[in-house]
Amino acid sequence: MRIVDARVIVTCPGRNFVTLKIVTSDGVTGVGDATLNGRELAVASYLRDHVVPTLIGRDASRIEDTWQYLYRGAYWRRGPVTMSAIAAVDTALWDIKGKVAGLPVYQLLGGRCRDGVTVYGHANAETVPEVLAEVARYVDLGYRAVRVQTAVPGLPATYGVGKDRMFYEPADAAIPTETTWSTERYLVHTPQVFAAVRDEFGPHLKLLHDAHHRLTPIEAARLGKDLEPYRLTWLEDPVPAELQEGFRLIRQHTTTPIAVGEVFNTIFDCQQLITEQLIDYVRTTVVRAGGISHLRRIFDLAALHHVRSGSHGATDLSPVCMAAALHVDLSIPNFGLQEYMRHTEATDEVFPHAYRFADGYLHPGEEPGLGVDIDESAAARYPYAPASLPVNRLTDGSMHNW
């Protein structure tokens, strides 16, 4: 079974997505997500100009060999553009293998380890009373875990807190918007938010918070300590993670569990974090880390060191990535939580999918392969529109230091 065609489809049903569709000589198709928020066309070009020509004529069943060929063969290893492109190929080949076998991909990965995939939603709002109402909305929908973000009083805008609620999208302008940040204000305000949320919702709802890489290790340690009474499931991205050993300092000071990894693209980005048990959850996902094959390597290493998965699932990861992530989530022993930011109706129309939310869980469905596709004629109705993530400055006008 040879690869006879591979199409790169760029579409913008509310936000940009890049999708690879591979077609085999038997007429079986597979899809892979290649979306890199704000840098979509770089991955589309990497695929079209450099990867697709090498795929034509290849044996579609050789997933691991193709992965190694693309990773080692390029000479230039790693990086978000390369690894998103490799991820798309890998994901599409797993989809094809499942369809050929007549099995959902999670069965090929070893079968179910759990009945459903526990997900968390995003409650975000300007003020504490508003965010309490948002948390209540998620609880009413059946969620068992909620991420809580509010605006920081005194700052004009806070990353992660949008005007829209259920369908919040941070990439908002072709040329990046600039926002302002004050760690001092944030560190005072955030524990007050969680005191109010715990008070209202009691001890059992899982609560999470994302610091978006804004802090130094000692500031993160302070926040972790101040949040301890409210027993968070995790504090996410407390510091940037280029310096993995920076997490040692946080660990020395707080028992608040730490999650990181949405920007990681290979196992080498988190090897020290995992083997030294400096984190509790590793948050990379299928599209960012070279597809299902490489993500499984990361999660297997994590399992040896008491680290659980907590895969990224924001709106910039397409339904193709979400479907693939759910097959991984269902089949690994050390699953922790899956992020689930709902896509818009237009996105769901372009990407028909079998996965369903029920009672706080996502279920990937039983269709052979990944259970997701791209409707190419619907996709063609939504042309690419440039959009970038905002840039952050400190209150004195300097670029945020980390």
Q: How far, in Å, CA of 221 to CA of 256, rounded?
A: 9
Interface with ligand KDG (CB under 6 A), residue from 90, 210, 219, 367: 210
394 bridge partner residues = 181
Under DSSP, is residue 359 helix (H, G, I), strand (E, B) or coil? Answer: coil
- The CA distances from residue 97 to 76, 370, 372, in Å, are 28, 10, 14
Residue 170 touches which of Mg ion, ligand KDG, none (Cβ within 5-8 Å per kind): ligand KDG
Q: Which of residues 254-273 bind ligand KDG (CB under 6 A)?
A: 262
Stretch that binds Mg ion, among 102-110, 245-253, 257-265, 369-377 (CB under 5 A): 257-265
CB of 109 to ligand KDG, least distance (A): 24
Q: Which of residues 336-355 bind ligand KDG (CB under 6 A)?
A: 339
Query: Which of 159, 230, 281, 382 is flagged as catalytic?
Result: 159
Interface with ligand KDG (CB under 6 A), residue from 16, 37, 118, 150: 37
Stretch that binds ligand KDG, among 82-90, 99-107, 112-120, 310-318 (CB under 6 A): 310-318
Indicate whether 314 belongs to the interface with ligand KDG (CB under 6 A): yes
Q: Is 159 a catalytic residue?
A: yes
How is 74-90 classified by DSSP, letter by letter?
A: TSS--SHHHHHHHHHHH
Please count the CA atoms within 13 angstroms of the CA of 69 that sit on its side-chain side. 14
Q: Is 343 a catalytic residue?
A: no
CB of 147 to Mg ion, least distance (A): 8
Q: Which two tokens stand for residue 223?
A: 């926040």
Query: Which residue matches tokens 């610091």?
Result: 211
Stretch that binds ligand KDG, among 41-49, 220-228, 308-316, 348-356 (CB under 6 A): 308-316
Indicate whether 210 belongs to the interface with Mg ion (CB under 5 A): yes
Indicate whether 367 belongs to the interface with Mg ion (CB under 5 A): no
Helices marked H in 264-318 — which ranges?
271-275, 291-304
CB of 334 to ligand KDG, least distance (A): 20
The residue at minimum Cβ distance from ligand KDG is 314
Let me know how many helices (H) and strands (E) the chain has, helices first: 14, 15
Phi and psi (nearest 5°) for 359?
60, 40
Residue 316 touches which of Mg ion, ligand KDG, none (Cβ within 5-8 Å per kind): ligand KDG
| Contact pattern for Mg ion over residues 259 through 288, marking x by CB under 5 A | ---x--------------------------
Query: Which of 189, 209, 212, 213 is flagged as catalytic?
Result: 212
Eight-class DSSP state of 340: -
Q: Which two tokens stand for residue 70?
A: 């693309």
Residues contacting ligand KDG: total by CB under 6 A: 10
Q: What is the 3-state secondary structure (H, E, C) of 198-237?
A: HHHHCCCCEEEEECCCCCCHHHHHHHHHHHHHHCCCEEEC
Q: How far, in Å, CA of 8 to CA of 361, rounded?
A: 31
Q: How far, in Å, CA of 260 to CA of 282, rounded?
A: 5
Indicate whether 316 belongs to the interface with ligand KDG (CB under 6 A): yes
Eight-class DSSP state of 269: G
Q: Interface with Mg ion by CB under 5 A: which residues?
A: 210, 262
What is the set of active-site residues?
Answer: 159, 212
Q: Interface with ligand KDG by CB under 6 A: which residues?
A: 37, 170, 210, 212, 262, 312, 314, 316, 339, 389
